[in-house]
Amino acid sequence: MSYRVERMPEMQFRDLEQQQETAQFGMWVFLATELLLFGALFTAYTVFRYFYPAVFAEASHGLNAVIGTVNTAILIVSSVFVALAVAAVKSGRRKAFLFDLSAAIFLGTAFMALKGYEYYEHYQNNEFPGLAFDYAVPNAPIRQVYFFLYFAMTGLHAIHLTVGILLLVYVLVRAYRQHYSTAYFAPVENAGLYWHFVDIVWIFLYPLLYLIDIHH
């Protein structure tokens, strides 16, 4: 892959290599802060599930486990494509690079569409606290907490996935304009790291929210 523009390191770096290492380290530190952002919600989830295991198990039947499972598969495959894209840019295979990025973007968008459909289902089933929620059923307050946590956690995840999709689109546009090369690919790696992180968060959300009571 060829340079369109010869890339110079920024003023504060010795060379391009130091700049790329620094950028990547920055992303790892950022992911640490992201982990704690979700951590607060996981803590709240743990507390309430510990106090009300039966209500949580019962409420989890309201979730569409089929869509949840399909979405999990979609995200895992998308992460594979992101990993392939990073490998492709490192070895200079331009066509594969562009294809892998596009595939990951497509899968991410598909996830969001399915998630949106799930939210719509909850709205119709009166399981959407704040918009439409059935307070007449038994244990309604705790059910409300379960669904609030469900929306807070998957909602925060969806915001992150949207950012991830936008990042990949940005990388795709820049890749198309030949901004990256086998010598300069830190933004691709960083977008990839972010994508994998968002993916891993979902890997925890899926069993915690969907599979609490699946053996019934």
Residue ranges that bind another protein, judged by CB under 8 A: 10-14, 18, 21-22, 25-26, 29-30, 32-34, 36-37, 39-41, 43-44, 47-48, 51, 129-130, 133, 140-145, 148-149, 152, 156
Question: In the complex with another protein, which residue's Cβ is closer, 39 or 91?
Answer: 39
Question: In the complex with another protein, which residue's Cβ is closer, 34 or 121?
Answer: 34
CB of 215 to another protein, least distance (A): 26
**Beta strand pairing call for 132-133 and 127-128:** antiparallel
Question: In the complex with another protein, which residue's Cβ is closer, 72 or 154?
Answer: 154
Residue type, 27: M
Question: In the complex with another protein, which residue's Cβ is closer, 80 or 152?
Answer: 152
Query: Using CA atoms, how far apart are residues 104 and 64, in angstroms rounded to an integer?
Result: 24
Residue of 142, 168, 183 lying closest to 1 (CA atoms): 183
CB of 47 to another protein, least distance (A): 6
CB of 21 to another protein, least distance (A): 6
CB of 45 to another protein, least distance (A): 9
CB-neighbour burial class of residue 117 (10 A; exposed 0-12, middle 13-18, buried 19+): exposed
CB of 42 to another protein, least distance (A): 10
Question: In the complex with another protein, which residue's Cβ is closer, 31 or 112?
Answer: 31
Helices and strands of the chain, counted as H and E runs: 6, 2
Query: Using CA atoms, how far apart are residues 94 and 215, in angstroms rounded to an integer?
Result: 46
Beta strands in the chain (DSSP E): 127-128, 132-133
